[in-house]
Amino acid sequence: MLAGKKVLLTASVALVGYSLVFPYFLTGQHNLVGVLLFLGLGFLVMGTLYGPVGAVLPELFPTRVRYSGAGITYNLAAVVGAAVAPTVTTWLIANYGLHSAEYYMLVLSVLAVISWLLTKETKDVDYTK
């Protein structure tokens, strides 16, 4: 397994754990320590997820379409994720409370782990043929 894929899989597993605890950081009034933990751990996990994506995504495509495939994939995911996730999360919290966001993030992070486990290894694939 390539180092980037290992990092992404590990960060996705960390996101599963984070999704289970983040609501507890935000409970109570004037909870500065909880908010700082929420932000610090969240940024750490998200930074670890976004860092290797630029190296791993192009490896998933044949050479002739490598950067088009990676660019389209990355940007489509950003548009869909950036548009849908905050809207769904806001609706869930408004209608069902903060813990519903926990379950939503948990489902998405488990799907990310499964996706990385099912992603084929490309280090020995010769795409030049």
Residue 7 is assigned to a structural domain of this protein: yes
pLDDT at position 82: 81
- Domain of residue 95: give its range: 3-118
| pLDDT tens-digit series, residues 2-20 | 678 889 999 999 999 999 9
Task: Provide mean pLDDT across the span 48-63.
Answer: 87
Number of domains in the chain: 1
| pLDDT tens-digit series, residues 64-96 | 899 899 999 989 988 888 889 999 999 999 999
Structure tokens of 60? 């998933």
Residue 129 is assigned to a structural domain of this protein: no
3-state secondary structure the chain: CCHHHHHHHHHHHHHHHHHHHHHHHCCCCCCHHHHHHHHHHHHHHHHHHHCCHHHHHHHCCCHHHHHHHHHHHHHHHHHHHHHHHHHHHHHHHHHHCHHHHHHHHHHHHHHHHHHHHHCCCCCCCCCCC
- Predicted TM-score (pTM) of the model is 0.84
| pLDDT tens-digit series, residues 19-35 | 999 999 988 788 899 99
Residue 124 is assigned to a structural domain of this protein: no
pLDDT at position 33: 92
